[in-house]
Amino acid sequence: MRNFRIPKSLAWFPLILALSLTGVFAKPVEPTGAEIAAVAVPTLTPTDRQVALDKTIAELLSQHHYRQSKLDDRLSALILANYLDDLDFGRAYFLASDVAGFEKYRNTLDDALKKGDLQPAYDIFNVYLRRLAERTARIQALLQQDFRFDVNESLDVNRKNAPWAKTSAELDDFWRKRLKHELLTLLLSGKDRAAARELLVKRYDNRLRQAQQTASGDVFQLYMNAVAQAFDPHTAYFSPRNTENFNIQMRLSLEGIGCVLRMEEEMVTVVELVAGGPADLSHQIKAGDRIVAVAQGDSEPWVDVVGWRLDDVVERIRGQRGTVVRLKVLPGKAGATAAEKTIRLVRDTIKLEKQAAKSDIKTLRGPDGRELRIGVITIPAFYSDFEAARRRDPNYRSTTRDVRRLLGELNGRVDGLVLDLRENGGGSLQEAVDLTGLFIGEGPVVQVRDASGGVEVEQDSEPSRAYDGPLAVLVDHASASASEIFAGAIQDYGRGLVVGDPTFGKGTVQTLVDLNRLTRAKDPQGQLKLTIAKFYRVSGSSTQHRGVRPDIAIPSAVDDEEVGESAQKNALPWDEIAAARYRGDRGILALAPELARRHQARVGGDPDYQAFLHDLEFTRQQRDKTTVSLLESQRRLERERVETWQRERENRYRVAKDLPPLKVGDEIPEGKDSAIPDMALEESARIVADLIVLSGSGNALVMSR
């Protein structure tokens, strides 16, 4: 169970979903009954193979999941809620009367699972397909009308807790606004009215065609995930096709752009960037961005992918190494008013050397006036070339080996060290243990508790340290799993300071169950990803749900309450077990209050840091905005306000670096091309400088192992 890599907050939502579009016109025109009746959708039923597999999965979940939940009425209610959310997250298709009709299943789905009775799931899905077909006919009628953008009205795009519409008229008004919002977004992105209307007509036609092609296996995949996620958010059923995609991702051999995607709030959304992949290295695409169109090469036409099956979108993005793929994305940080931007990426094989840890040295003046050199080692993932290690290749790559080498290169050149684990989603457990050993020496690193209550302690057996000097570990809300094990151990041992945001809070262990091997079936059955254990720090505290709390807080742009384990449905709770036997150092703990006081005093008078806080707050406001104006003049003002803020923000630092300022209309650079400093990293280095002075350290000792 050591060498697994589970993408954080991985959740597989339905392959057929409602579109996240919004609309308006002057006067509704109803499609006729004949027009609606002409839109045929299949009536789907389960197969004998799915009935048998349903009972197998139900047995595995009830007997082997860490939670050991019984298949009872409580679980039945969770399954129903999950299933309806996955089908109609935006409350845009079902009527309240439909949902009331589903109430008969609230306390019976558990009994149906035990018997292999899938008919309730298919009955609910068939109602969804009919409602989708009916609504699509109405939408296409709406799209033929004239649209006005001089009416002062607004739309709440966050409908996850909205009541179900009581009548079709209520949904008509909602869809009127949804379509208006979507058309206005396209207009502000540069399309004319005719092109925008044509795009939406094609988009909805395509969505209906996708629905008409839905197969029985699609319903089974969707429903089994609703069942699995009633246990916890990291348990999932993978159909044979999705098993192939998942295994490719696990091997990190995907020739593509290096993104983990899922259907989230009805759109194809970037969940995670694979460290060292083309998307990660481009600094142009971020977790939370939504992909709306894909094009091949530099000249092929755009293909709108809103409403597509997730696996079909993945296949369009994947391709041969060296080829170009272009994406149109709506930046997640810009919230509901985001404008499309175009990204060009060259596909590549994701290699360990592109994930590799790297080092830098920052020189600054310490609080006592002397010059201090702070080493920075950035660790994008906990990786290991397992195949090369099995071949006994003496030069195989791993996080621990690369960091040990970098420490050797920094030997005698630095006074302190920052380890940057921001956006590090985890990886190999063994690497987390071994890397911790470079800094603590011999001792326990993490405890793993299984469903029966048995606890295994993962130990580092090397008595010496590779680095013995002042240390800070920089984390954020996207630091997960193995990152949390490492940061928690450094904090518990008192070996260094943890600074930044609270971490993600993924403290669970998953295993993959090959359903073909289990059922001895000849045709493909897929896999079940099953949560079987939890991680605990050597102090006995779980990393689950709460994450690792920093000693000194430095905020980041990813501190979204919707991100992290605590925001996931049915997440396992935080708890504690007995502490392991270990020897910690309380020296840094005693210095923490003074270090925090100096940090606050410094950043309170630092204009760059205050600008950094202001920028974070502005970004949060844009991201969290769920009500959007449907008045074109207002939306243009809002767009100009955001662009002005971005340009002025960039120019503050371009002027300081003697770079020409951006003018109106210039493209605003991002990532490595931006002049904006990394204030979280800069302040982390200053905190280490304070630690050096307060502890009397300097010219930190770097020892060989």
- Alpha-carbon distance of 647 to 666, in angstroms, equals 9
Q: Please list the active-site residues.
A: 481, 492, 506
450 Cβ contact partners less than 8 Å away, ≥ 6 residues apart: 66, 456, 532, 533
- Alpha-carbon distance of 123 to 46, in angstroms, equals 10
Contact 419, 470 (CB under 8 A): no
Contact 83, 124 (CB under 8 A): yes
Calculate the alpha carbon distances from 450 to 59, 401, 447, 511, 527 in Å: 18, 30, 10, 12, 21
- Alpha-carbon distance of 359 to 421, in angstroms, equals 13
- Alpha-carbon distance of 376 to 393, in angstroms, equals 28
Task: Say whether 325 sits in a helix, a strand or coil.
Answer: strand
DSSP string covering 43-108, please? -----HHHHHHHHHHHHHHHHHSTT---SSHHHHHHHHHHHHHHH-TTS-S-BHHHHHHHGGGTTT
Task: Say whether 678 sits in a helix, a strand or coil.
Answer: coil
267 Cβ contact partners less than 8 Å away, ≥ 6 residues apart: 19, 20, 290, 291, 292, 306, 330
- Alpha-carbon distance of 635 to 256, in angstroms, equals 35
Tokens of 506: 């993924």
- Residues counted in the chain: 705
HEC profile for 595-653?
A: HHHHHHHHHHCCHHHHHHHHHHHHHHHHHHCCEEECCHHHHHHHHHHHHHHHHHHHHHH
HEC profile for 547-573?
A: CCCCCEECCCCCCCCCCCHHHCCCCCC
